[in-house]
Amino acid sequence: MIRTLGLACAYAGAQPLRFPDVDLPQGGRLLVQGRSGSGKSTWLSLVAGLRTPSAGQVCVAGQALMDLRGSALDAWRARAIGFLPQRLHLSHALSVHDNLALAYFAAGLPRDDAAIAQALHALGIGDLGARYPAQLSGGQAQRVALARAVLLRPAVLLADEPTASLDDEAAAQALDLLQQCCRACGASLVVATHDRRVHQALPGAQVLDLNEIGLQGNQDGRKQL
């Protein structure tokens, strides 16, 4: 689950962004909508514990992030958060299999080759383990990145613009896979996007609309002046 309260993030020389409160139950789905620059990435990084909020609280999977510091926060992130970035950030120096193994290395866990093979198999790319990212199609690469994100069975899967540059069919398939993966490991799904198609593919999901909020935040800022 994800719960935020009075969350705000300040950038040097800019008005602080204020985010509305979110209360997402475990296994729930959340759509973070907004133009580029409206604060989607900022909100994601606050929830992942990569940024410290200037005000407010974040609680993810029962853990208040303000209680964690340094490597404890890193260790928590390794276990609780799965992240599917827009640019997949697969390492070109490593094979697909080794790219997944990075998750174990980052978490400081012993490498589990059987689990890696299983994760690739579950996403229908079990035969690509020995390939390198440069040899994959866009869709295959996204599946690899998704397999890596859910390898350690996180409590929350954060997906940043997962449908950008995909055609309708591929976008629907990608969203389908995301939801499958989340159901399989009981994770909450958060999709940050400005793509309307996502809204249709995730009926009944909570919506966090940053288009209006960003404006409100600025107004609040003016009031404080």
Partner 1 sequence: MKTIAQLARLSWRYLWSRPLATALNLLLLTLGLAAITLVLLVATQIDRAFERDLRGIDLVVGAKGSPLQLILAGVFHIDVPTGNIPLAEVQRLQAHPMVEQVIPLSLGDSYLGHRIVGTEPTYVAHYAATPAHGRLWQQPMEAVLGATAAQALALGGQGDARLLGAQFVGSHGLGGGGHAHGDHPYTVTGVLAPCGCVLDRLILTGTESVWQVHESGHADTPDDLQALREEREVTVALLRYRTPLAAVTLPRLINSDTALQAAAPAMEITRLLRLLGVGADVLRAFGAVLLVVAALSVFIALWNAVRERRADLAMLRMLGAPPRRVAGLLWCEALWLALLATGLGLLLGHALAELMGYLLQAQGLLPVTGRLWLATEWLVPALATGVALLAALLPALQAYRADVAELLAHA
Write the CB contacts of 161 (distance below 8 Å, at least 6 apart in sequence). 86, 192, 193, 194, 195
Closest-CA residue to 171 (of 140, 197, 206, 138):
197
Interface with partner 1 in residues 119-178 (CB under 8 A)? 148, 160
Q: Does 193 interact with partner 1 (rule: CB under 8 A)?
A: no
Taking the least distance from each CB to partner 1, the nearer of 42 and 188 is 42
Q: Does 13 interact with partner 1 (rule: CB under 8 A)?
A: no
* Least distance to partner 1, CB of residue 42, Å: 8
- Residue among 26, 54, 91, 216 that touches partner 1 (CB under 8 A): 91
- Residue among 7, 22, 65, 104 that touches partner 1 (CB under 8 A): 104
Write the CB contacts of 62 (distance below 8 Å, at least 6 apart in sequence). 1
Structural contact between residues 174 and 198, judged by C-beta atoms closer than 8 angstroms: no
- Residue among 8, 10, 66, 94 that touches partner 1 (CB under 8 A): 94
Interface with partner 1 in residues 53-72 (CB under 8 A)? 70-71
Q: Does 83 interact with partner 1 (rule: CB under 8 A)?
A: yes
Q: Does 225 interact with partner 1 (rule: CB under 8 A)?
A: no
Taking the least distance from each CB to partner 1, the nearer of 79 and 131 is 79
CB atoms within 10 A of CB 165: 9
* Least distance to partner 1, CB of residue 223, Å: 28
Please tell me the distance from the alpha carbon of residue 90 to that of residue 208, in angstroms, as a whole number.
29
Taking the least distance from each CB to partner 1, the nearer of 19 and 76 is 76
Q: Which of 23-31, 86-94, 199-207, 209-217 is the region at the interface with partner 1 (rule: CB under 8 A)?
A: 86-94
Q: Does 78 interact with partner 1 (rule: CB under 8 A)?
A: yes
Task: By CB under 8 A, name the binding residues for partner 1.
Answer: 41-42, 45, 48, 50-51, 70-71, 74-79, 81, 83, 85, 87, 89, 91-94, 98, 101-111, 148, 160
